Amino acid sequence: MNQNIASSTLDERIEGLPPKQRLAVKTCFDAASRKSTRVMVYDQLWVLECVLMRIKSPKLYEHVRRHEILALSSKSCLDRHMAGFKSSFGFNASVFEALKKNTEGMGAHSCHGGLGFDEINSQRTSVSRPLEN
């Protein structure tokens, strides 16, 4: 079926879909047109979505990949991409270096402001303690 649909026709048909669904459809059609997805080059946004899906639910990711529900990259491929991510807690020193560099020529009055943080998620945890007699 995908051999009969031209790329422009496919783009027209999926135009009304949200961007991430469009990306999923295009990736599935790209995978269907290949003999093997072993050396398939995935779109960077698709790889990012795959990484996020795998982080949120590794078992579901493996189920969807193993049963070929979506064209998902392998665990080793995602591991290679995730190796480039720097994951750590605390503040990123390069952010403060950039702030220092950008505010060097400003007066003290111009530098007054606040910092906003994005992608910070804190959880409340409960600690159970043994009952004391």
Q: Where are the domains of the chain?
A: 7-83
Within 8 A by CB and 6+ apart from 21, the residues are 14
Asked if the model's pLDDT at residue 128 lies above 60, the reply is: no
Give the model confidence (pLDDT) of 30-40 as tens digits. Answer: 888 877 767 77
Least confident of 53-57, 59-63, 71-75, 85-89: 85-89
Task: Say if residue 53 is exposed, middle or buried (CB neighbours under 10 Å; 0-12, 13-18, 19+).
Answer: middle
**Predicted local distance difference test score (pLDDT) of residue 30:** 82
pLDDT of residue 60: 93
Tokens matching residue 119: 């992608």
Which residue, among 58, 70, 81, has the nearest Cα to 25 in the 3D structure?
A: 70
At residue 121, does pLDDT exceed 80?
Answer: no
User: What's the predicted TM-score (pTM) here?
Assistant: 0.54
Question: What is the model's pLDDT at position 59?
Answer: 94
pLDDT given at position 1: 47
Range with the lowest mean pLDDT among 35-39, 44-48, 67-71?
A: 35-39
In whole angstroms, give the CA distance from residue 58 to residue 50: 10
**What does DSSP assign to residue 83?**
H
List helix spans (H) across the chain. Answer: 7-13, 19-32, 44-56, 58-66, 75-83, 93-102
Residue 117 has pLDDT above 80, yes or no: no
